[in-house]
Amino acid sequence: MKGVWLVAKREILTRGLSRSYIVGVVVSAVLVAGLTLLPGLLGGPSEYRVVLTGTESAELATAIEAAAEGFEEFSVETAEVADPEAARAEVEAGDADAAIIDNTTLVTESGADQQLAVVIDGAHQAVTTQRQLAEAGFDPADVNAALTVAPLQDDQLGGDDAGARQGIAYFLVIVLFFMVMMPTMYVAMGVVEEKSSRIVEILLSSLKPWQLLVGKVAGLGVLGFVNLAVPLAVGLAMGDVTGAVAELPSGLTGTILSSLVWWVLGFCFYAAMAGALASMISRQEDMNSAIGPLTMLMILSYVVAAVYAWQPTTLVARVLSYVPPFSMFMMPVRDAVNDAPLWQQGLSALLMALAAVGMFALGATIYRRSVMRTGSKVKLTEVLRKSS
């Protein structure tokens, strides 16, 4: 294992201390922090103040406060003022977000925020309707009873937070795909670079081929893990500050953290084969054709998971959550929507780990038989037929 550690250490120091890698991690963390804080910065205020004047100001103020109670995102404070001039002055001074004069005129600085406008408009219509019906001879109590209608009960079979869970599941699929794709490509490019420059001949004079492949995957895997974990930690920290983490459906924080395990398993699976396939070529120009089948498998897994992120309880989704490499995307999706008991997640992870080990064994064989062969591209069938 000493040889594996030496290769991994070389990859970490060579690439991890490069300016491009450090800048990439920092930029990713800053972007995640910005996206986490953005809703709070762009959203409207959490408290509004509305001043009123006129004979119906008391009734209208009560109606506005009652309507605002239906919104968790904000609250509305009301106050009565002496006359229209005083109401306008408060808006001009910024002491009030809106003023309602005689239940006929809405005064704002540059238009009311949409959520405040909805509350004011609803309260205005309710108070005006009650007054007009009372003027027509209807009893105010009967009018109020007739206008009070119980809302429909919202019975969501998937749970009240089903939409949020599916959205986060879809987001996890995207993140896992790109964070596996990028370091996997680095493994392939590194293998071709060492082979074309003949550095691999020097390295193999003191290392076994499997040590070189495993060490390269391990080193770049550490860098990829850091590139994923740092923005994730920043996002969770910023979410905790803004309260976004507390608003997540129960259990999703654990799902997000467990996605790191699935990233490790998925990366090992793809990176081992990417390094092996890349060892069959000597030029970067041949990269696409060499690892094309592996890339297509990765894209297929991603597309299927992205589709079934919105229907994760179907039979197809449940079956694929056990089939490597689809499981690295599908099981986090099922976990996000609370459709996967812990034992199923453990079984799926075990199968994915066994598949990764098998891929390392196959990849090491291909790498050993082809990495020293320069010139034209080595055919996979020829490598597999060759005796050890």
**Above 70 in pLDDT, residue 152?**
no
**Above 80 in pLDDT, residue 79?**
yes
Q: What is the extent of the structural domain holding 261?
A: 159-385
Interval 368-379 mean pLDDT: 81
Residue 20 within any structural domain of the chain: no
Query: What local confidence, expressed as pLDDT, does residue 298 receive?
Result: 94
Average pLDDT, the chain: 84
**Above 70 in pLDDT, residue 44?**
no
Each residue of 16-39: pLDDT tens digit? 888 988 998 899 888 888 877 765
Measure the CA–CA gap between 2 and 32, rounded to whole angstroms. 37
Query: What local confidence, expressed as pLDDT, does residue 294 receive?
Result: 93
**Above 90 in pLDDT, residue 370?**
no
**Above 70 in pLDDT, residue 159?**
no
For the chain, how many structural domains are there in total? 2
Highest mean pLDDT pick, 133-147, 198-212, 322-336: 322-336
Token pair for residue 188? 């392939």
The more confident residue out of 278 and 55 is: 278
Token pair for residue 245? 């983490």
- Residue 42's pLDDT band (boundaries 50, 70, 90)? low
How far, in Å, are 102, 113, 116 from residue 109 at the CA level? 18, 11, 13
Please name the residue that has the structure tokens 């600085």: 109
287 and 375 share a domain?
yes
**Above 90 in pLDDT, residue 338?**
no
- Looking at the chain, which runs of residues are DSSP E strands? 47-53, 75-80, 98-101, 105-107
The more confident residue out of 307 and 384 is: 307
Q: What residues have CB less than 8 Å from 255, skipping those under 6 apart?
A: 168, 172, 332, 335, 336
Using DSSP, how many helices (H) and how many strands (E) does the chain show?
A: 15, 4
pTM for the model: 0.70
110 and 204 share a domain?
no
Measure the CA–CA gap between 333 and 229, rounded to whole angstroms. 19
Residue 24 within any structural domain of the chain: no
Measure the CA–CA gap between 290 and 125, rounded to whole angstroms. 68
Pairing outcome for strands 98-101 and 47-53: parallel
Mark which of 85, 120, 147 sits at the end of a domain.
147
Residue 8 within any structural domain of the chain: no
CA 243, chain centre distance (Å) = 17
Each residue of 206-261: pLDDT tens digit? 888 888 989 999 999 999 889 888 888 888 788 777 666 666 666 777 888 888 89
H-helix or E-strand spanning residue 235: helix 209-242
Each residue of 280-333: pLDDT tens digit? 988 888 888 889 999 999 999 999 998 888 888 899 999 999 999 999 999 999
Measure the CA–CA gap between 176 and 326, rounded to whole angstroms. 12
Measure the CA–CA gap between 41 and 49, rounded to whole angstroms. 19
244 and 316 share a domain?
yes
128 and 180 share a domain?
no
Pairing outcome for strands 105-107 and 47-53: unpaired
Residue 5 within any structural domain of the chain: no
- Torsion angle, alpha carbons of 249, 255, 260, 266, to 10: -120
Residues found in the chain: 388
107 and 253 share a domain?
no
165 and 132 share a domain?
no
Percentage above 90 pLDDT, the chain: 26
